[in-house]
């Protein structure tokens, strides 16, 4: 079931069948460098994240979704909205496989997920958090209207910049 469609992607609920493709992203040290604790996920952790996401769809109506290329129906990343325990609010997340970097896709999916959050989920505020060294993500967030809100250590003790965007 397609949750969101963009010009070049469709965003769907992640399924058990997506484990290998998702693990190829979440298990990649370069792709996970700026996410969470900065370490790649094990296959077991990736499996658990799929299980939690499926439960979130049922209980909350949203979660982490798979991003699929319209060109070849391949899982090329993930995105979504999560209820972050670190800030006790809704947070935008996204990551794309490296071969899809530099093509404007991250901006395209981030914008679409934010729009979905405001229009379909009726959220009032959406946060995003990044490692200060992740200048590409900072540029994406600023481009779609996020503003820096504050800086502090995250749940892993890492310096983090928190951005937010309020629905107008």
| Span 35-42, average pLDDT | 92
| Span 95-116, average pLDDT | 96
pLDDT attached to residue 164: 96
Count Cβ atoms within 10 A of the Cβ of residue 7 and give its class: 0-12 exposed, 13-18 middle, 19 or more buried.
exposed
Residue 36: band (very low, low, confident or very high) from pLDDT cuts 50, 70, 90:
confident
Q: What are the structural domains of the chain? A: 2-166 (3.40.630.30)
Phi and psi of 64, rounded to 5°?
-85, 130
pLDDT attached to residue 168: 61
* Parallel/antiparallel/unpaired status of strands 159-166 and 125-130: antiparallel
Whether the CB-CB separation of 129 and 87 falls below 8 Å is answered with yes
Which is nearest to 40 in space by CA: 18, 24, 56? 24
pLDDT of 78 above 80: yes
Q: Above pLDDT 90, what percent of the chain?
A: 87
């Amino acid at each position: 079931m397609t949750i969101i469609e963009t010009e070049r992607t469709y965003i769907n609920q992640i399924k058990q069948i997506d484990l290998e493709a998702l693990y190829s992203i979440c298990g990649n040290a370069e792709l996970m460098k700026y996410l969470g604790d900065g370490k790649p996920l094990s296959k077991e952790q990736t499996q658990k994240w799929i299980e939690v996401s499926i439960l979130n769809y049922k209980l909350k109506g949203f979660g982490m979704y798979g991003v699929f290329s319209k060109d070849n129906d391949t899982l090329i990343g993930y995105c979504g909205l999560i209820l972050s325990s670190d800030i006790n609010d809704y947070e935008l997340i996204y990551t794309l496989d490296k071969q899809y970097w530099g093509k404007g896709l991250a901006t395209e999916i981030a914008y679409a997920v934010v729009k979905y959050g405001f229009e379909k989920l009726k959220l009032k505020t959406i946060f995003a958090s990044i490692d200060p060294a992740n200048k590409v993500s900072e540029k994406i967030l600023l481009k779609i209207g996020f503003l820096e809100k504050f800086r502090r250590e995250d749940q892993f003790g890492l310096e983090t910049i928190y951005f937010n965007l309020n629905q107008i």
